Structure 1
């Protein structure tokens, strides 16, 4: 299954689990109904900003939109994520590439590797979600500038920044070289045994 088909199924699965119509998700996310419909049919390549709006409205992390849809696996989810089978997605707006490293087996921890092009910027208007989500960003190589709420940090190779996903976050590579970093997300479910977050 390609990444756009998996993303389409996962988004529809999360929306259906909440019993929301396309109009309801559009209202909560400020993403147009027609755009959501195109994404759910695999006919649109949404930007990271659009996906973040949808994830925020659904109360989940952006990374969870790239998890294997529940209906796609014929067997129990595997605790192993083979490198060649890890979902890879490229943001059409900034060109940043994200690889979901985590296995399909549910865990409160998710790992994502990001390759961020030189001179690019992505701004997420993140807000409170139903589940409490924390993340840490560890710079593997290069440099990144991150603004979390009102605070700004310049991160260099080896630096690690922790934050809660409850305010706007801006990622920017201010250099002429690409950066690579690891994102570790932990989720505190909203009380359900297996939160879709």
Structure 2
């Protein structure tokens, strides 16, 4: 197996390459994402560790998921991805850990992501503008306070909730232990 590049070193190149591939200037991407030009430039140069929320905005502006920005583009790949090969990334603002479970390639219509949200932390994602998905959140361990638009869910282990990225979604961990959950995303435009 070829060595995998860590998401921390891959994200700057992926943002730059995808912006360039789409023919977007820094100013155009900044305006579309609602992120400063300077911040995008720092991310592309590897001088800033972007948060999950910031990467989500940048990805949405280019029609890409967070997972697409943290992994190599692959047209087709093996039908299995061992845990050691699954890219994992930690949000510098919250300590939230996101691991892309799905094998690379495929049609990108469905992806599985494993998340660990530290005790007492929360993360809020704005409604997406271009790349939408219906997400099912399955809590494996801990507790999860999930708000999707005006609906609030209090998840216990084994509970599963369905949300849409067309709404603002907030994930909070009110417990003293990490919350571990799976996100099964079905993308659509």
| TM-score (normalizing by structure 2) | 0.90
1:163-192: CA deviation from partner (whole Å, max 9, x where unpaired): 12101111100111111000111112x5xx
- Gaps (5+ residues) in structure 2? none
1:134-185: CA deviation from partner (whole Å, max 9, x where unpaired): 1111001111001101111101100111112101111100111111000111
1:118 aligns with 2:119: yes
Q: Partner residue of 1:128?
A: 129
CA–CA distance in 2 between the matches of 1:167 and 1:156? 22
CA–CA distance in 2 between the matches of 1:14 and 1:78? 23
Give the drift of 1:125.
1.4
User: Given that residues 120 and 176 in structure 2 are in contact (C-alpha distance below 8 angstroms), is that contact kept between their aligned partners in structure 1?
Assistant: yes
1:19-66: CA deviation from partner (whole Å, max 9, x where unpaired): 111110001112111211121122221111111111222223222222
Cα RMSD of the aligned pairs, angstroms, is 1.7
Give the drift of 1:103.
1.3
User: Given that residues 52 and 126 in structure 1 are in contact (C-alpha distance below 8 angstroms), is that contact kept between their aligned partners in structure 2?
Assistant: no
1:30 aligns with 2:34: yes
User: Given that residues 49 and 122 in structure 1 are in contact (C-alpha distance below 8 angstroms), is that contact kept between their aligned partners in structure 2?
Assistant: yes
Give the drift of 1:5.
2.2
1:49-101: CA deviation from partner (whole Å, max 9, x where unpaired): 1111112222232222223135xx9xx53332121121111111111111111
- Gaps (5+ residues) in structure 1? 191-197
CA–CA distance in 2 between the matches of 1:145 and 1:77? 35
Query: Equivalent residue of 1:105, what SS?
Result: coil
User: Given that residues 146 and 172 in structure 1 are in contact (C-alpha distance below 8 angstroms), is that contact kept between their aligned partners in structure 2?
Assistant: yes
Query: Equivalent residue of 1:35, what SS?
Result: helix
Q: Which portions of structure 1, spanning 4 or more consecutive aligned residues, are displaced by more than 6 angstroms?
A: none
CA–CA distance in 2 between the matches of 1:57 and 1:150? 24
Return closer, same or farther for 1:79/1:65 CA change in 2, 3 Å cut-off: same
Q: Partner residue of 1:166?
A: 166
User: Given that residues 53 and 126 in structure 1 are in contact (C-alpha distance below 8 angstroms), is that contact kept between their aligned partners in structure 2?
Assistant: no
Give the counterpart of 2:23 among 1, 14, 19: 19
Query: Equivalent residue of 1:10, what SS?
Result: helix
